Amino acid sequence: MNQTALENQLRGYEQWKANIIRTVDDYRAWLKKFKLAGAVTDKRITECLSSLHSDRLTIAFVAEFSRGKTELINAIFFADYGRRLLPSSAGRTTMCPTELFYDRQADQAYVRLLPIETRLQEAGIRELKKKPAHWVTYPLNLDSADQVESCLQEVIQTRTVSLKEAVRLGMYDPNQHPHRSTPPTTVEIPKWRHALISFPHVLLKEGLVILDTPGLNALGSEPELTLNMLPSAQGVLFVLAADAGVTRTDLELWQNHIKGFHTSRKRGLVVVLNKVDTCGMSYGMSHRSIKRCVNSAKRPQASSAYLPRPSSGICAKGTSW
């Protein structure tokens, strides 16, 4: 599906919601006119309208580190800038879960960051989204690609803390490092717990939300991602890389965080193979060559995990097959 077709479908979905909201408003007015609306009924109607107004189409991009996931997001949403705005160079990876959307209520572009220290609070990310005072906000100047790129660099920032502090924040588990004879004295952890990026891309303005997850460790350390955000997403794009094939951590991601989504729904899950250019492919190659590259990424050990074959091969640099 090309971008224009998706844009039209998103616009149609928004129009459908607008019609439903108008109908519910008319129904509420009719109830009040004839004095048929009680407190309970009015509360339910208010909750229904609130849900319709806040409803978005969310697609989660899930992959282990270095699978080209963020590069793919750059190619889709920031290609007009002619450069990578989200950090995706070698050794520079997204460190915190990031939501890419457009804030239609504020009608402005910004990056909003939740400090990692909020993990010590009882409030979850959903609740903290309603409390702007807990977040650090940087407005985005859309006329300056340099300024936008500089602000978005925050999603890869880290801090070095003591082992005690890392454990207190839930960012270090000795059981995940069984080969270490002695624990480290310091640990590098993400600076931010969660990032919200409001950007006026045409698809985002139509209600699309992209959830960029930073790999297996983040899914394990932030339960709200696994228990709430991923299950509530209307679609999941599981990204593999041609140069890595299907690794042990890919399988762990699939088994522990994606497989349940796949078995509970017949639609909404796509497995794609990124970095097909590393297979020696070039634009215009035959479908047989493409299929051979896609099949080679699925190693024998993936069969026991019921990992479906990638549905397509892509290159985030701008070419898809």
pLDDT digits (tens, 9 = 90+) for 182-200: 889 999 999 999 999 999 9
d(CA 75, CA 81): 10
Indicate the SS3 state at residue 44: helix
Q: Are 48 and 37 in contact, with CB atoms under 8 Å apart?
A: no
d(CA 31, CA 37): 5
Nearest to 99 by CA among 126, 134, 64, 122: 126
With pLDDT > 70 as the criterion, what percentage of the chain qualifies?
Answer: 79
Half-sphere exposure of 289 (CA within 13 A, CB side): 12
Regarding predicted confidence, which is higher, 154 or 278?
154
Strands annotated E in the chain: 57-62, 98-101, 110-115, 136-139, 158-162, 186-190, 192-198, 208-212, 235-241, 269-274, 312-315, 319-320
- CA angle 232–74–309, rounded 5-degree value: 60
Regarding predicted confidence, which is higher, 90 or 274?
274
pLDDT at 303 over 80: no
Which of 14-28, 76-90, 258-272 shows the lowest per-residue confidence on average (mean pLDDT)? 258-272
Q: What is the pLDDT of residue 41?
A: 93
Q: Which long-range contacts (CB under 8 A, 24 or more apart) does 78-85 make?
A: 79/318, 81/145, 81/148, 83/145, 83/149, 84/149, 85/145, 85/148, 85/149, 85/152
pLDDT at 300 over 60: no
> What residue ranges of the chain are covered by domains with CATH 3.40.50?
56-157+191-320
Kindly report, residue by residue over 99-117, the tens digit of the pLDDT. 999 999 999 999 999 999 9
Give the confidence band of 132 by pLDDT, cuts at 50, 70, 90: very high
Indicate the SS3 state at residue 63: coil
Residues 6+ apart with CB under 8 A from 180: 174
d(CA 134, CA 126): 12
Calculate the average pLDDT of the chain.
83
Q: What is the pLDDT of residue 320?
A: 44
d(CA 14, CA 213): 26
Kindly report, residue by residue over 214-265, the tens digit of the pLDDT. 877 666 677 778 768 888 888 899 998 888 888 888 888 888 888 766 565 5
Pseudo-torsion of CA 88, 90, 94, 95, nearest 10°? Answer: -160
With pLDDT > 90 as the criterion, what percentage of the chain qualifies?
Answer: 42
Q: What is the pLDDT of residue 114?
A: 97
Q: Are 56 and 211 in contact, with CB atoms under 8 Å apart?
A: no
Kindly report, residue by residue over 89-98, the tens digit of the pLDDT. 665 678 889 9
- Its CATH class, for the domain covering 56-157+191-320, is alpha beta
Half-sphere exposure of 196 (CA within 13 A, CB side): 20
Q: What is the pLDDT of residue 265?
A: 59
